[in-house]
Amino acid sequence: MAVYPLKETKKAPQSQTKVILWLKDNLFSSTSNVLLTLVALYLIYLILPPILNWTIFDANFDLTADNQSCGREGACWAFIYDNFKMFIYGFYPQEELWRIDTMFGLIVVLIMFGSWIKKSQYRMHYIIGAFLIYPIAAFFLLYGGLGLEVVGTDKWGGLTLTIVVAAVGIVASFPLGILFALGRQSEMRIVKFISVVYIEFVRGVPLITILFMASVVLPLFFSVGMDFDKLLRALIGITMFQTAYIAEVVRGGLQAIPKGQYEAADAAGLNFLQKTTLVILPQALKISIPNIVGSFIALFKDTTLILIIGLYDMLAIVGAATSNPSWLGRNSEGYVFVAMVLWVILYSMSHYSKKLEVRFSTEHKN
């Protein structure tokens, strides 16, 4: 028998420079990888130059140009400049635009103040208060009342409408979705039954159908003459739709929580509400963050469907703007612009979700 001394730890050998090593490992590691790299480069060569030419090199950046003087070989960005207000505010009256600005400005201020008092013990009160009061303030700002001139929802449009629809859908469907997810897990048969039927029914129907139903069928349930708002109907439809998806995402999170967590909470004497809100949901929601945000991103994109029931969201504004005789045929510019705006918003959402994941991760830290 023998005794061996402990060996010293050494650093891993490093011979080549990082860049070459990276290229070799990732792009040219094998014959098939080399082929794939070359094909990809060729595709980029095919696609990228025309896009750059149209959007930048052949484009006309003269913001005073009109449809004729702009030329046809590249994009005419004067179209966006000329219709910018319509893209953002829809058909909202010019002299009332400050109300929309205030609404968006208020949310920025609220968030900044929230992060400023991060350490305060009243932070939770502040967040809950803001969540309760802001929607009411936003409603009066946007719709009117309390001395402000009423602006009907038929005048709402553009990015404002897109954000309003998405935000209401997200904020309303989140708690509802959690309730349905818990309902589906419930031991109470009737609660479980209702949840399952609701979720499976809504998930089995396309959003367009739900929007049509909300727009055409829903009014049938109400007495004649009680005509309630088209936008409100769309919001109800979208919330219904999103609730079912959030419920399924949250249910996935709930199922990932080990049985031992329920038992530990039970054994400690927590009641059902405490067990759910203090132990189970925080963990389930944390696991679900990527899927919840993914679902919200899908919803944000789906809001463009409201144009079918005659609401002018940002995408529908392109159609409205190009039907103006002085900008006929400039759809491409409009769609590219809308795509870019949506991409910036959606990418920010998914980026934020990654940051949330990191912030909440207490598992697997070592």
Which residue, 182 or 342, is less far from other proteins as judged by CB?
A: 182
Residue 361: half-sphere exposure toward Cβ, Cα within 13 Å: 11
Q: Which of 218, 270, 309, 336 binds other proteins (CB under 8 A)?
A: 270
Site string for other proteins, 272-311 (x = CB under 8 A): --x---xx--xx--x-------------------------
Taking Cα atoms as reference points, which of 153, 155, 166, 151 lies closest to residue 86?
155
Q: Of the two residues 209 and 277, which places its CB atom closer to other proteins in the complex? A: 277
CA distance 206 to 176: 19
Near other proteins by CB under 8 A: residue from 1, 267, 325, 358 = 267
Q: HEC profile for 308-339?
A: HHCCCEHHHHHHHHHCCHHHCCCHHHHHHHHH
List 8, 95, 187, 363, residue binding other proteins (CB under 8 A) = 363
Q: Which residue, among 222, 245, 173, 216, has the nearest Cα to 308 in the 3D structure? A: 216
Binding residues for other proteins restricted to 303-362, rule: CB under 8 A: 360, 362
* Nearer CB in complex with other proteins: 140/360: 360
Beta carbon nearer to other proteins, 64 or 121 = 121
Residue placing its CB nearer to other proteins in the complex, 120 or 326: 120
Annotate 125-141 with b (16+ C-beta within 10 A) or e (fewer). eeeeebeeeeeebbeeb
Check binding of 109 to other proteins (CB under 8 A): no
Interface segment toward other proteins; rule CB under 8 A; list 10-18, 93-101, 191-199, 267-275: 267-275
From the CB of 247, what's the least distance to other proteins, in Å? Answer: 21
- Contact status, residue 303 vs residue 169, Cβ threshold 8 Å: yes
Per CB under 8 A, 266 contacts other proteins: yes
Shortest reach from residue 363's CB to other proteins, in Å: 5
Q: What is the pattern of x (binds other proteins, CB under 8 A) and - over residues 226-265?
A: --------------------------------x-xx-xxx
Binding residues for other proteins, rule CB under 8 A, total: 24
> 342 with 159: CB under 8 angstroms?
no
How many whole angstroms separate alpha carbon 186 and alpha carbon 56? 57
Output the DSSP codes for 129-177: HHHHHHHHHHHHHHH-BTTBPP--GGG--HHHHHHHHHHHHHHHHHHHH
Q: How far is the CB of 268 from other proteins (least distance, A)?
A: 4
**115 contributes a contact to other proteins by CB under 8 A:** no
Nearer to other proteins, 30 or 271 (CB): 271
The CB density around residue 51, as the number of other CB atoms within 10 Å, is 10
CB of 85 to other proteins, least distance (A): 46
Report the nearest approach of other proteins to the CB of residue 253 (Å). 12
Instruction: Please report how close the Cβ of residue 282 comes to other proteins at its closest, in angstroms.
Output: 5
**Residue 168's CB: how many other CB atoms inside 10 A?**
22
Residue 231, number of CB atoms within 10 A of its CB: 20
Contact of 55 with 336, CB cutoff 8 Å: yes
Residue closer to other proteins (CB basis): 275 or 330: 275
Of residues 91 and 360, the one with the C-beta less far from other proteins: 360
Nearer to other proteins, 120 or 274 (CB): 274
Rounded alpha-carbon distances, angstroms, from residue 240 to 132, 156, 353: 21, 22, 23
| Opening angle at CA 68, ends 74 and 320, nearest 5 | 85
Q: Distance (Å, rounded) from C-alpha 50 to C-alpha 30?
A: 31
CB of 360 to other proteins, least distance (A): 8
Nearer to other proteins, 280 or 316 (CB): 280
Residues that bind other proteins (CB under 8 A): 258, 260-261, 263-271, 274, 278-279, 282-283, 286, 360, 362-366
